Amino acid sequence: MILSCSTEINENNSIDNYNRTAIIENLTNNIIIPSHENLQSKIIQLNTLSTDFKATQNNSNLTALRKAWKEAYIAWQYVEMFNLGKAEEINFNKTMNTYPCNTTIINQNISNSQYDLSSPNYSSWSSQGLPAVDFMLYGLDNDSNNILNIYSGKNGEKHLNYLEDIIIQMSDNTNKVTEYWKKNKDMIISSNGNTATSSLNLLTNDFIYFYEKGIRANKIGIPCGRWDNWDTYPIGVEAYYRKDLSKQLTLAAINSCVQFFSGVGLNTGTDGQSFDDYLNDINGDNDLTNNIINKLISAEEKINTLDHNFTLQMSTDNTKMIEAYDALQKVVVHLKTDMLISLSITVDYADADGD
């Protein structure tokens, strides 16, 4: 749902008289905008180092570029759940993190240079974004020296141009979304009612969708074979070509959910108004809040037992991946049923994964 200035405003806050405005204000000012600004700074650095690498292809510049990409990918985990307004309009999530990337299309784009990533008609999300950069920095060859040879070789300029274009596209989109939140924060905060298009309802659905689909399904369930007759899908892991980053990205995503649910500011670390406070007030106790937090911690503990390389983990002992999925699934029931019933919020997306 795209939040616009026509969004209905309920000046009495909500049917339960809880101060929804305080929650939206804390989430917007202390979590959402700082998270976008953090991603923006990481993408700026990535863009700068991409320019350096285009000028000089050496190990030092490649290492620096890879580090910047990793930091941007981690920062992305704190932004992906906020898919409304400008982000939804420009398919920000899909252009930034559709994986696995399609190496056939990427190689075709490099070869013929016939692409326009900024065109609204260009919808090959799997050939751009962070996963595509993963392939460009790690997947062209297993040996870093050979990757450098590709970039400095016969078709090196085409590879450099495509890498640069992907990163510029990420930068442009990140800037658009960040500015949207800054420009419209007052309108977003004032939309404090309980309707399908009210801010808290949209944010709640985006939060649960990210947890259920973005983390539980995409990061763990689909790669470990949860929906494909238990056949593993190794290439489906996040950051497949980097190999050892999948676990760190998943843990960062879990942490982003814990902070969002608890209202902890990204930069301040201060615990502000959020879902935990709202649920405690409505239910008259903190039982549901404690169940959600405790099960999130249990899921995090299961993920911590996994190898940093999810592909290796699946090939050696996929049972641990299944156990991590099961631990993540236990939270879904509390979020999607218990929490939404308590908050009188309706799910605005459809299930499609057979859970």
Cα separation, 295 vs 264, in Å, equals 18
Q: pTM for this one?
A: 0.94
Residue 236 has pLDDT above 50, yes or no: yes
Distance CA 304, CA 292 (A): 18
State the pLDDT confidence band at 10, using cuts at 50, 70 and 90. very low
Looking at every residue in the chain, the average pLDDT score rounds to 93
Encoding tokens for residue 58?
Answer: 């050496």
Task: Please name each of the domains of the chain with its CATH number.
Answer: 20-343 (1.20.1420.20)
**Residue 275: predicted pLDDT:** 97
Cβ contact 174:39 at 8 Å: yes
Residue range 259-283: average pLDDT? 96
Tokens for 266, please give them. Answer: 């990204």
170 burial type by CB count under 10 A (0-12 exposed, 13-18 middle, 19+ buried): buried
Going by C-alpha positions, the residue among 242, 268, 225, 351 that lies closest to residue 26 is 268
Whose structure tokens read 């320019």?
51
Q: Are 73 and 130 in contact (CB under 8 A)?
A: yes
Q: How confident is the model at residue 120 (pLDDT cuts 50, 70, 90)?
A: low
- Residues 83-97 have a mean pLDDT of 96
12 confidence band (pLDDT: 50, 70, 90): very low
Which whole number is the average pLDDT over 164-179?
Answer: 98
